[in-house]
Structure 1
């Protein structure tokens, strides 16, 4: 983490100059860092309002839906 904090500025500069940067943790790709501009472009103003409006306009909005109940696996507590 100390190395990550020390190199954060470099990461930001590379995102701005080279584009998205892939970050790995223990040799596994965990996240991709993108610029705020790219994030806004990808999000394209999406807020979820259209989905809420579609659900509210549905003729089936009063139908009760029971979720399928799956048995929860029991795990030994970690001590």
Structure 2
């Protein structure tokens, strides 16, 4: 097999797919070539989700995940506000 570091010929990538996936997990993204031209890249799922924002929680879900705040002391001060002069 003639695989350059991080680069696989398409036919070899197909024949050695498990090896390709192992290389992705240990060495990072792997490029697949066809007739000497890079045509695809195989990424670890963690990298893919980070790049696409697939693991980003939408705002509604984020608000739903906030813990119960009823035990916090959130009383507002009764002191008068300071005076601000506008010029």
TM-score, with length taken from structure 1: 0.51
Give the match's secondary structure for 1:14.
helix
Q: Deviations over 1:36-67 (max 9, x none)?
A: 11100001138xxxxxxxxxxxxxxxxxxxxx
Q: Could you tell me which residue of structure 2 aligns to residue 35 of structure 1?
A: 44
Q: Which protein has the bigger helix share?
A: 1
RMSD: 2.0
Structure 1 unpaired stretches of 5+: 47-79
1:25 aligns with 2:10: no
Say which one has the larger Rg.
2
**1:34–1:28: structure 2 CA closer, same or farther, 3 Å change rule?**
same
Unmatched 5+ stretches in structure 2: 1-9, 56-87
User: CA offset at residue 3 of structure 1?
Assistant: 4.0
- Structure scoring higher RCO (CA < 8 A, sep ≥ 6) equals 2
